[in-house]
Amino acid sequence: MNELSAWIGRSETVVDTVGPTPVMALTATLDHPAVAVHAGTPLPPLWHWLYFLPMHRQSDIGVDGHARRGGFMPPVPLPRRMWAGSQFEFRAPIRVGDAVARTSTIADVTVKSGRTGQLVFVKVRHEVRCNGAAEAALVEFHDIVYREAQRAGDVAPSAQPAPQGAPWQREITPDDVLLFRYSALTFNGHRIHYDRQYVTEVEGYPGLVVHGPLIATLLMDLLRRHLPDAEVASFRFKAVRPTFDLHPFRVCGSRDGDSVRLWAQDHEGWLTMDAVATLRA
């Protein structure tokens, strides 16, 4: 644990080309009608997650379906890994056909003690540039939390009621097919999203875990459904409580001027993700 801070400042750059097929695939997964995707079509916010996919060799994959710890990411010796939240600045459009480069840097590593034991928080800064531009089109901070294995007697985090009376609401059924399609689109091998035996018997969750980025994408998709012409300048989200495939959940939103409050809630009305988008005037 004491050596993890040595990873702060480590950096890597990966390149990709924004192709149309992932855009069409996520359009279908989010249940939108099929549309033609031509060169120059701007990506909706967060759809850059369809690119820069992790291409680890099969022999480098660990028991949880992620790449073994070490290399660019610090080798945190804790078994459970979750996407805790992200913050974004959308500075310029990323378009189909663009040659893109993402530079990732370990911005911080923090070790803490919590109610369920040790926790490690890793913050990664991503900058995406298009077609060799000097300025980033997108800046993202990605917060990852590592936790100890589930133990008998662990107390679940206290639940927080979601806001009531949202003017925007959509119910989502997180079935196995939806979770599989999103895992496939993002080349995410993490077994908590598709291997029910692993997630319940090894990691101790009651069901398959709905991807945090998928819920964030659904929140942004809700905004786009109600404000199709709006331009998003910034966005941030925080995962408050895990969402499982056992029940439908809701994505909700409310606009106040240039600020849009977005959140997800489970079938019991508990807040599971909290987010804010700022619209460009």
Q: Show me where the domains of the chain are located.
A: 4-279
Q: State the CB neighbour count (10 A cutoff) for residue 27.
A: 16
What is the chain's alpha carbon radius of gyration, rounded to the nearest angstrom? 19
Query: Is residue 180 a contact partner of residue 208, using CB atoms and an 8 Å limit?
Result: no
Which pLDDT value is given to residue 200? 94
Which pLDDT value is given to residue 1? 67
Counting runs of H as helices and runs of E as strands, what totals does the chain give? 4, 10
Which pLDDT value is given to residue 203? 87
Which pLDDT value is given to residue 148? 87
Q: State the CB neighbour count (10 A cutoff) for residue 65.
A: 16
Query: Is residue 136 a contact partner of residue 127, using CB atoms and an 8 Å limit?
Result: yes
CA 174/CA 209 separation, integer angstroms: 9
Query: Is residue 259 a contact partner of residue 231, using CB atoms and an 8 Å limit?
Result: no
Q: What is the 3-state secondary structure (H, E, C) of 82-135?
A: EEEEEEEEECCCCECCCEEEEEEEEEEEEEEEECCEEEEEEEEEEEEEECCCCC
Query: Is residue 219 a contact partner of residue 237, using CB atoms and an 8 Å limit?
Result: yes
Q: 161-220, pLDDT tens digit by residue?
A: 999 999 999 999 999 999 999 999 999 999 999 999 999 999 889 999 999 999 999 999
Give domain 4-279's CATH superfamily: Hotdog Thioesterase (3.10.129.10)
Buried b (16+ CB within 10 A) or exposed e, 247-277: eebbbbbebeeeebbbbbbbeeebbbbbbeb
* Under-70 pLDDT residues of the chain: 1, 69-70, 152-157
Q: How many residues does the chain have?
A: 281
Which pLDDT value is given to residue 100? 98
CA 195/CA 63 separation, integer angstroms: 12
